[in-house]
Amino acid sequence: MHAARILPPTPKQVDYARHIATRLGASIPADKISDRAALSGWIGEHQARLKTTAAQPRDTRATSRQVAFAERIARAKRRAIPDECFRDAGLMSAWISSNR
């Protein structure tokens, strides 16, 4: 039988692993960074954590530019901006579109 040949990881694979490590605050073990199959396994293990970290709720409040624009519209049309619009950028966008 032939001895298993260890292939070095591709540059893209190393870049992606470093991206994951940076985002998760993890480190890539030295034995994984020099073996294509081992690095692929490490990426697979940590990829799920990266996706759950990315799924964290983001700040969905209206941006300052949205608020400023909406306030100009509200002054011009003498209308009040509903409070929930300040807490949700999507609602603020809809309010702006319907009151232009």
Closest CA to 33 of 9, 6, 67: 9
Per-residue pLDDT reduced to its tens digit, 74-97: 999 999 999 999 988 989 999 999
State mean pLDDT over 24-51.
Answer: 88
Enter the pTM of the model: 0.50
pLDDT over 60 at 16, yes or no: yes
Give Cα 61 distance to the centre of its chain.
Answer: 17
| Spatial distance between the Cα atoms of 38 and 29, rounded to a whole number of angstroms | 10
Please state, for a pLDDT cut of 90, what percent of the chain lies above it: 53
| pLDDT value of position 55 | 57
State mean pLDDT over 6-34.
Answer: 90
Domain-wise residue ranges, the chain: 11-54, 64-99
